[in-house]
A and B are shown apart, each in its own frame.
Chain A
Amino acid sequence: MDTNAKLSQARSTALRCLFHIAMVALLLALSTVHAAEDQAASAVPDTIQQRVASCAACHGAHGEGSPQSGFFPRLAGKPEGYLARQLKDFQDGLRKYGPMEYTVRHLSPQYMQEIATYFAQQQVPYSRSPVPRISAETLQRGESLALKGDAARQIPACVSCHGTQLTGVQPNIPGLVGLPYDYLSSQLGSWRTKTRATVAPDCMALVANRLSDSDISAVSAWLASHELPSDLHAQPAGSITPPLPCGVLGATGDGA
């Protein structure tokens, strides 16, 4: 064998050797990638946020809702008693919305409470939603209803229950400012069509039924366009005395 042949053999051995090393390295690299993937896969975060993926699909991971469409309501920062009550009302069929009734049907009271607490604790900035063009006169009617009510028709002011800044009252009364017009007006409507109800005496159903169609537009528009107060947290518990008996606030009887 001549030198050239020897050299070429040595070169090819070296090449083979290098090739093997490269392959082993590649396999090792791949297997670590795979292991990393496996690890990522098996490490599902043990958090309530991870558990409520079902809620987040529509309401957002932090309960921000869909402020642009007004269709999926914001949950973030709403009082936790209020949120837990809504889950229970969907479960009992007092609030009617198929996807929600389906989703919550097996949840235990403890789990519903945990979910409510999670969303109540979320701090998400409020964003403004479009408000339909509405006359100054109507807006004024809305403001009057919200701040003073209409004694002649036994309509209490929104502020008498929902807080002086309309940011809600702990732990059971939701805020009304910062919510989209479409959401507010559809909720008032659904109280009248009995697709939204709660435990008796259902004070909000009484109020909604005393409002005229134009009142609903007016108060929803005023609330949705009202400038947001600097502090959007709900008022402390016990800071209001409701003018009507409300089942959600512990009153009993049928409220009639």
Chain B
Amino acid sequence: MGSMINFGIDLGTTNSLLARFNKGEVEVFKNPNGFKETLPSIVGFRNDRILVGEQARTFAEKDPKSVVSQFKRKMGTTETFKIKSTGQSKTPIELSAFVLKELKTFIRTGEVPDAVVLTIPASFDMLQSNATKEAGYAAGFKQVVLLQEPIAASLAYANKEKGIDLKNSQWIVYDLGGGTFDVALVKIVQGELKVVDHEGDNYLGGADFDALIVEKIVVPALTKRGQFKDLLSQMRSESGKHNRLWYRLLSLAEQAKIELSARSSAEIEVTLDDDSGTTVEAILPISRSEFESIIKDSIDRTAEMLRTILTRNSLRPQDLKFVLMVGGSTYSPFVRQRIEELLGIPVNTGIDPTNAIAVGAAYFAATREVNLREQDAKPTASDAIRIRVAYNRASQEAEEIFSAKVEGSTEGLFYRIVRNDGGYDSGLKTLAVRILEDLPLQADAYNLFSLKILDRHNNVVPADVDTIQIAQGKYSVAGQLLPEDLALVKDDMAGDTKLEPIFVKNTVLPARTKKTVEVSKTIVHGSDDQIQIIVVEGPSDNHFTANKRIGYLVISGKGLKRDLMRGTEIDLTFEVSESRDLTVQAFVNPSGPEFSQVFTPTRRDVPAATLAEEVRMLGTRLEEEKAEALASERFEVVDHLDKLLAPLKELHVESGLLAADDVTDSRYKLEDRKRKIAQEMNGLIAGKRVERLRGEYRETKERVSAIVTESGNDQERRQLHEIVAREHTFLNSNNPSKIEAAVDHLDRISFQILRRTPEFLIGWFQHLLEKREMLNDQLQAKNLIDAGKKHVAAEEFDRLAEVNARLHALLPQQVKESDEMRHFTGIC
């Protein structure tokens, strides 16, 4: 057996979609630009480029002579579309081929399918069907299989509800999309799905409902609130005073309509000036029933068409199994209810109405073998293309000219330039010997563009240049770069400090950022307690003592009007000027005082007391590191650390003797000595913490994996999988806090599982029992404990969990937190 087609395309009048069958599942591919599954079936020719989809849609209404939509309705006719901007005519087949070629760019797997299933409306005759096939071939597919849309929708349903038996039954497919309506009677004839009858209206869909909301609800409400002369005409006319408002309201009406599918009311908020110049600000509520009343006639019309089919085929509603709802507009509960009510047939909403036809086409494609036409099996390879480029790699402009000279045969080839952030797409342009393109640049960013050379089927032709890189603004060589990281010193839970990067190395100056920190100990007003905001320069993964201190701001109890409670937030603003002056501003909320200081590299701020404390901390760390090195028999490290001990002791004595108001430069000299010792020590023990954490991560992973395998649910399995999938990034990062975060996350997963187990719940209950004297409300505690005991005896563990949670809430705050944090800076 050969390979299967697997790719299915819903080539729609208003929107098109592409789906792929793979190992039993269907994936609907998304537009790489904007991430929607749907591609508007619109092709535009503007300024010598070909635009397909959203970009073309913008101009569809205003430039209809160069932008074509709804060409599916002309398939199989001799009608052509005269394109004003190119002076050429395009057939519906050619236009459909552009849409199909664009859909190929959705395939994120990089496959280039040769064969495809295309869907067609039930109403298509032989000519129209053949024209659709031709469009498929023109788009580069070598095999095209057609499938009727109602059958595709039915297949999507049958594959979703595998248990359902559709034998000897018939049903209706009701397809109400963005701009068209189709209804079809489907039944199984001799084992095959067949469309028996159909009806439709090419001018009825969701877009009409948006316009109705504006016309029937919003405009009358606005007219009551302000003075307007013929507001609706002024909105709808191109030259009307309120033409802008029409488009704004259509967009807001669409959002409101979507909201009304899930909620009973929505609001449209609008501000405008009326004819007398008074500003009208209105929040217009729209209830679901109001919306329903304005679309009722349209829905009743669709029901009428459905009824026509029944009459024509001598069927009663009870002869039908269900009405299968397809198309975005069937999300509306009213559409479903109304059809059910008018016809007495149950509606079926078992499939995603937006992509059901593409999904069904992919299921069908999975059952059809690839069988290529001989004459088309030849490859479309072209000679290699060589491109010589010329453009500015760094720019201060909003746009930069890209020019290139192309060598090799350019006949029948196109090019396309796309900015990787999703903000620019040149559209398809004919390739000639020269490429000249204005590329818009994202400000202050490194702009990456991809340049693709494409053949007439939109397949990529290899070329020697495929990326264009332009740095805008801040990356310009003229900009001053920060030579080292700047980091803020914070207390960490392990009783030490950690560095939080403020600006990373190579940040372009001037730079400004904000951080919010929490006060980790209460500062009593009027006291000597203080918070230290210390900014250091140097690698952020160092210990702060090894980095150069460049900024220091103290918030002392003496400067406060009231106590600064633990947990209060402090907003810090950091600014580095081009000449590298650092400004730190602290704003304390809610007491309101503001503290600010500017630091310059020439005026280092080293308070004597802090220096002494830092030296003391360094001594403690050195002792700890030595003990650890001894325990792990790293005698070489012990030797080296010993050598640092003597100079550190000297430093200790000298810094202790330093007067707070010492005016000499002794403090700077001492600080330099301290930093050198710290740097040496860091060098000796570098990587040790990371190494230990890596080990801890591996052990935790093994333990938690076992727990998850045994008792985890789907969500927990997925969480574990996600952590493991990205472990290479944090394990190789040399950043201990990232590894710690992963270990912590793993622990939380295991705790989540364990806390559901009876052993844990009983253990926790016992633990709380031991603390019963401490509990805040003894009467409530007694009741809870009695209840808990009963639950243990009756093995009602869910209820025991509730009791535990309530008992835990009765514990005094300090016991809950068992706070053993050591404070140095007073912020965390």
Q: State yes or no: do A and B come from one complex.
A: no
Interface residues of A, Cβ cutoff 8 Å to B = none
Interface residues of B, Cβ cutoff 8 Å to A = none
